Amino acid sequence: MWLPRTAVSVDHFHLIQLANQALTEVRQQLSHKVRGRRGRAADPAWAHRMLLLRAADSLSENARARLEKVFATDDATGKLRTAWDVKEQVRALLRTGSLEDAELAKEDLERLVKESNQPETTRLWRTICRWWTEIEVLIVTGATTSKVEANNTSIKHIKRTGRGFVNSTNYTTRIMLRSAARTAVNHPLQ
């Protein structure tokens, strides 16, 4: 009503977080099915769980070799590999610079999700379809809520450290001073 031309954008971080969560759930279920227990340090998939969540383009040759070893030794079903491919395709989709490229990446993602045939990746796909308009806004504008979320985190930190504030005015003043100090450091006067 007040801002009729405003478009809602989905946050890049949260979409990647959803893709990583789907991959983690696949890894955990695979461990339960294969070993009948949670992962342990001796299991390659558990030992390299953080490596699975890293971006493929940021992996060194050594890290890539370790990841391939995980897929070869701890993923007899191929489900972990397909979930990882879905996660990487979500990242590729978000890196696109135009709506045409995004549509092509979305088609590739749909194909990978259907090939994986797993409830975790299907749930991720449904979420992406449900939020597609907002994802398009992100791709076109690059607008995210990251600065707002960073400020909210700072305010929560101040709240945790300012346990003794009884007066709300003092609390508000503390938040404003902290914010002003951060702004002054990042943008000093000339």
Quick check: 17 pLDDT over 80? yes
pLDDT value, residue 38: 81
Model-level pTM?
A: 0.77
Q: What is the pLDDT of residues 146-166, one digit of tens each?
A: 778 888 888 787 777 666 667
| pLDDT level of residue 185 (50, 70, 90 thresholds) | low
d(CA 94, CA 142): 10
Q: For the ranges 21-35, 82-96, 98-112, which has the lowest average pLDDT?
A: 21-35
Exposed / middle / buried, residue 15 (Cβ in 10 Å: 0-12, 13-18, 19+): buried
d(CA 29, CA 27): 6
Integer-rounded Cα radius of gyration of the chain: 21
pLDDT value, residue 26: 93
d(CA 175, CA 159): 9
Which candidate, 139, 115, 144, 143, places its Cα nearest to that of 128? 139
The domain segmentation of the chain, as residue ranges, is: 12-141, 146-186
pLDDT value, residue 190: 47
pLDDT value, residue 124: 97
pLDDT value, residue 183: 64
Summary mean pLDDT of the chain? 87
d(CA 116, CA 144): 30
Quick check: 181 pLDDT over 90? no
